Structure 1
């Protein structure tokens, strides 16, 4: 009796498990396998991401460098334009008046061994402080600092103790050369160096030529002085007719003078 009961119980248990197994088997067969990345796939993805990141950084770095170069080039152009405009203003205001450095008379334009100086007008005196309407300007090139300086003396009579007002005309200058055109190129002016020949000292060339190398680029600037020839003739006629007096000892002129563009 007991044996039969146990046999029937075990038979029921086996039948029950067999039924559950049959029900669960189709579900297992129909389900999709679990998806995932293998180690090789992860390494390949990381390598691709690293390459793309490196390429993106190179492009970004290139754009930054191009932007910096453009900004630097723009600054060089602005500096060149400012220097050109300054020399142009000076060339328009050159006058045929000699200067006195305390030792001897200096020509209106002096060019000797790249020493370049000239007399100019165009000084305004709105406050009526008695400023001289004429100045003495010198361009000086410093090869060690690669700079061109503009030295300004506020009077045509230049005592030895007077220090000029210095300003930087241009930086990063590898070479700087000044010539006068009359009409041929000359590296020395005046041609006649006789200090007693006042007419020769007041003589002006027909033009100026500047050759300079800035940041590895060569430039050539040519300025006409033909407009100053008209002013020279006006000065000569006025002096002959008594309309304009010669400059005083302080470099000023007691009578009215032709208005030139101010600085």
Structure 2
């Protein structure tokens, strides 16, 4: 019978070492690919959140209305007609802005759940507890606090700041100089909206600034409308 010869112990140890090195290298490659995929997915999720918040702001700013605050003095204008009361009867802008909040009136999107819905809508954007929150109210009256929808658009933001462009940059609207008078005998022109608004904040250690130019939409004709908000 022919003599049969197997693997030596040294050959087995060398083969096992090679297989172990290949397994470690394969695991490192798989782990790096998995980590890269997780990072890409994380950044994609954060980008999707930012895009949604930006598009929501863009839609609201694109439908903003140069709305005037209803006042009791305006109702009395029909019965009192004196030049002394002209300054008191000047309309005031509904929109208000400070460093942490902006409030305005916009056209309301139709609600498919109802046959008829209000045409105007009051919206607030507030920065509180490192969150950007969109608040939608059931009533455009500034004294009403009936919130119909409260949506958190962004979480984990820092150094949030709202700004108004008049065109100079301001963190307050309306300002103390509300009207612009070009002549001594002319009534001052009331600024109902700034030229634009912007928001600056830090999100995931990345400074971000969004700016929106305001093109106010005209109020619809309310002569033949039953809408209480027109």
Question: Given the alignment of the two structures, is residue 80 of structure 1 paired with residue 64 of structure 2, yes or no?
Answer: no
CA RMSD of aligned residues (A): 3.2
Structure 2 residue matching 1:75: 3-state secondary structure: helix
Higher helix share: 1
Q: Distance in 2 between matches of 1:183 and 1:212?
A: 21
Query: What are the equivalent positions in structure 2 for 1:1-263 lying under 5 Å apart?
Result: 34-99=4-69, 107-124=93-110, 127-129=114-116, 131-143=117-129, 146-158=130-142, 160=144, 162-192=146-176, 200=190, 203-225=192-214, 227-228=215-216, 231=217, 234=218, 252-253=229-230
Whether contact under 8 Å (1:178, 1:211) holds in the other structure is yes
| Closer/same/farther in 2, CA of residues 57 and 186 from structure 1, 3 Å limit | same
User: Which residue of the partner structure matches residue 11 of structure 1?
Assistant: none
Structure 2 residue matching 1:203: 3-state secondary structure: coil
Q: Distance in 2 between matches of 1:187 and 1:222?
A: 14
CA deviation after TM superposition for structure 1 residue 35, in Å? 3.1
Structure 1 residue matching 2:194: 3-state secondary structure: coil
Structure 1 residue matching 2:147: 3-state secondary structure: coil
Q: Distance in 1 between matches of 2:111 and 2:31?
A: 53
Runs of at least 5 residues in structure 1 that lack an aligned partner in the other structure:
1-27, 254-263
CA deviation after TM superposition for structure 1 residue 92, in Å? 0.8
Task: Specify the structure having the higher radius of gyration (Cα).
Answer: 1
Runs of at least 5 residues in structure 2 that lack an aligned partner in the other structure:
71-90, 179-187
Whether contact under 8 Å (1:140, 1:148) holds in the other structure is yes
Q: Distance in 1 between matches of 2:136 and 2:177?
A: 24
- Deviating runs (4+, > 6 A) in structure 1? none
Whether contact under 8 Å (1:136, 1:152) holds in the other structure is yes
Kindly provide the CA deviation profile for residues 156-198 of structure 1, in whole angstroms up to 9, marking residues without a partner as x: 125556234201212332332211112221111111277xxx9
Structure 2 residue matching 1:205: 3-state secondary structure: coil
Q: Distance in 2 between matches of 1:73 and 1:111?
A: 31
| Closer/same/farther in 2, CA of residues 207 and 166 from structure 1, 3 Å limit | same
Q: Distance in 1 between matches of 2:118 and 2:43?
A: 39
Q: Distance in 1 between matches of 2:205 and 2:137?
A: 32
Q: Distance in 1 between matches of 2:133 and 2:203?
A: 14
Whether contact under 8 Å (1:181, 1:206) holds in the other structure is yes
